[in-house]
Amino acid sequence: MIFVLLCQYCLTHEHFNTKMQTSKPMDYLSNLQGRVSADLAGKINKLEMMYSKKLWHQLTLELLEIVKEPFFQQGCQALELYNSFISDFENRINPLSLVEICGIVMEQIVDVNDQISFIKKIETKVPSSTEAKSLCRIFAGHRILHVLKDEAGAKKNIEEVEELLDSVDGVTPVHGRFYLLQSDLFRIQGKHAEYYRSALRFLGCTDISTLSTEEAHTHAFLLGMAALLGEGVYNLGELLAHPVLETLRTTEKGWLIDVLFAFNSGNIAGFDKLRPFWSTQADLVANERLLRQKLVLLALMEMTFQRSATQRLLTFTEIANTTALPENEVELLVMRALSQELLKGTIDQVAKTAHFTWVQPRTLDKQQLGTMIERLHVWTQDISSMESLLETKAHDILTF
Residues 201 and 255 in one domain: yes
pLDDT value of position 12: 43
Q: What does the DSSP 8-state code read for residue 76? A: T
Residues 280 and 312 in one domain: no
Residues 308 and 387 in one domain: yes
Q: Classify 190 in phi/psi space as left (phi over 0), alpha (psi -120 to 50) or beta.
A: left
CB-based contact 41:33 (threshold 8 Å): yes
Is the alpha carbon torsion for 218, 221, 223, 225 positive or negative? Answer: negative
Residues 261 and 350 in one domain: no
Antiparallel, parallel or unpaired: β 343-348 and 353-359 = antiparallel
124, part of any domain: no
pLDDT value of position 367: 67
Of 87, 110, 131, the last residue of a domain is 87
181, part of any domain: no
146, part of any domain: no
d(CA 372, CA 368): 6
d(CA 268, CA 54): 67
Residues 345 and 274 in one domain: no
Residues 301 and 381 in one domain: yes
pLDDT value of position 8: 40
Q: What does the DSSP 8-state code read for residue 324? A: T
CATH code for the domain in which residue 315 is found: 1.10.10.10
CB-based contact 287:229 (threshold 8 Å): yes
114, part of any domain: no
DSSP symbols for 103-165: HHHGGG-SSHHHHHHHHHHHHTT-TT-HHHHHHHHHHHHHHHHHTS--HHHHHHHHHHHHHHH
Question: pTM, whole model, 2 decimals?
Answer: 0.84
Query: Along the 400 residues of the chain, how does pLDDT read in single tens digits?
Result: 433 343 343 434 444 444 444 348 999 999 999 899 999 999 999 999 999 999 999 999 999 999 999 999 999 999 999 999 999 999 999 999 999 999 999 999 999 999 999 999 999 999 999 999 999 999 999 999 999 999 999 999 999 999 999 999 889 989 999 999 999 999 999 999 999 999 999 999 999 999 999 999 999 999 999 999 999 999 998 999 999 999 999 999 999 999 999 999 999 999 999 999 999 999 999 999 999 999 999 999 999 988 887 788 999 999 999 999 999 999 999 999 999 999 999 999 999 999 999 998 876 666 666 666 766 776 677 777 777 777 776 666 666 5
Most distant CA atoms of the chain, gap in Å = 114
Instruction: Provide the 3-class DSSP secondary structure of residue 254.
Output: coil
Note the helical H segments in 248-352: 255-264, 268-273, 275-278, 282-286, 288-305, 316-323, 330-339
Of 37, 68, 87, the last residue of a domain is 87
Residues 279 and 299 in one domain: no
pLDDT value of position 309: 76
Q: Residue 30's domain spans which residues?
A: 7-87
Of 33, 55, 87, the last residue of a domain is 87
261, part of any domain: yes
What is the domain count for the chain?
A: 3
Residues 254 and 338 in one domain: no
pLDDT value of position 170: 87
CB-based contact 222:238 (threshold 8 Å): no
d(CA 306, CA 314): 12
